Amino acid sequence: MKNQRFIPLEGVHNFRDFGGWAAKNGQNVKSGLLYRSGHLSRASETDQATINALGLQTLADLRQPSEREREPNILPDPAPATIFETAHGGYEDAPHLAFLREGNLTVQSVHDYMISAYQRIPDEPHHQRIFADLFKQLRHGEPVLIHCAAGKDRTGILAALILLSVGVDSDQVYEDYMLTNVAVDIDGLLPSIAKRISEQTGQDVEPQALRPMLGVETDFLDATFDAIGPLDAYLENTLGVSDADRQALQDTLLVP
């Protein structure tokens, strides 16, 4: 099943179905409804045809406006009926670029930054708004794609919240989250990513220092759950997802 989740594309990283996991009462999350990926700005014509065939009805772009402007999506044709985009978060640019411009990058400093990012993301109002909007949209039971830049951090947090909300156990949620390290050729990407970041920030970047930023680690997601506290309270009080809403989601997204 793991390999069946991946949808190999030429110009889009980390595209996969995050349905199919076992939930409570012997049910499973439907496949073919929940997709996650990196940005679509480099989608080839072949990629576009593959994505078009999924019949996406909703797209949630979790990137900052500056990220969308720099790398605009190549949207499916026809475009999804509903497109959610993250509002401006008060940053001049993506926070990770501000961090990278500071220089003196090491594996430890990048790892520590990632921990802080995972603590910050679920607490930021612009992320909370799009998370809440997406949860409402999921009740329609139509194919949805959520993505950010690399499809692993902001996207990984939201995907984890969705799976947990319908009763997927935490072990499987972490397993889904960690599949980024299978989907992405981190060693192959490090040199080109380091070069691009050097161009964007004016800093000399040692490729290996970026390793924590290109992959995922369990303690990253741990940091999110430590930050938000009890899941039920976060879903209801912060995202407005009540017990009744969760039951409706389970009725929509789960199958025997």
Which pLDDT score, from 0 to 100, does residue 134 have? Answer: 98
pLDDT digits (tens, 9 = 90+) for 55-106: 999 999 999 998 999 999 999 999 999 999 998 766 666 777 788 887 678 9
For the cut 60, the answer to whether the pLDDT of residue 15 exceeds it is: yes
Q: What is the DSSP letter of 153?
A: S
For the cut 90, the answer to whether the pLDDT of residue 226 exceeds it is: yes
Strand residues in 190-242 grouped as ranges (E): none
d(CA 70, CA 120): 23
pLDDT tier at 183 (50, 70, 90 boundaries)? very high
Domain ranges for the chain: 2-251
Q: What percent of the chain has pLDDT over 90?
A: 83
| Confidence (pTM) | 0.95
Which pLDDT score, from 0 to 100, does residue 225 have? Answer: 98
Q: With CA atoms as reference, report the closest residue to 69 among 33, 93, 37.
A: 93
CATH no. of 2-251 = 3.90.190.10
Strand residues in the chain grouped as ranges (E): 16-17, 28-29, 34-37, 58-61, 82-85, 144-147, 254-255
Residue 204, CA distances (Å) to 10, 96, 231 in order: 29, 16, 40
Structure tokens given for 39: 């940005």
pLDDT tier at 169 (50, 70, 90 boundaries)? very high
Beta bridge partners of 201: none
Q: Are 150 and 38 in contact (CB under 8 A)?
A: yes
Which pLDDT score, from 0 to 100, does residue 201 have? Answer: 80
Mean pLDDT across the chain: 94
Structure tokens given for 74: 């190549």
CB atoms within 10 A of CB 241: 23
Using DSSP bridges, classify how beta strands 58-61 and 144-147 pair: parallel, antiparallel or unpaired. Answer: parallel
pLDDT tier at 249 (50, 70, 90 boundaries)? very high
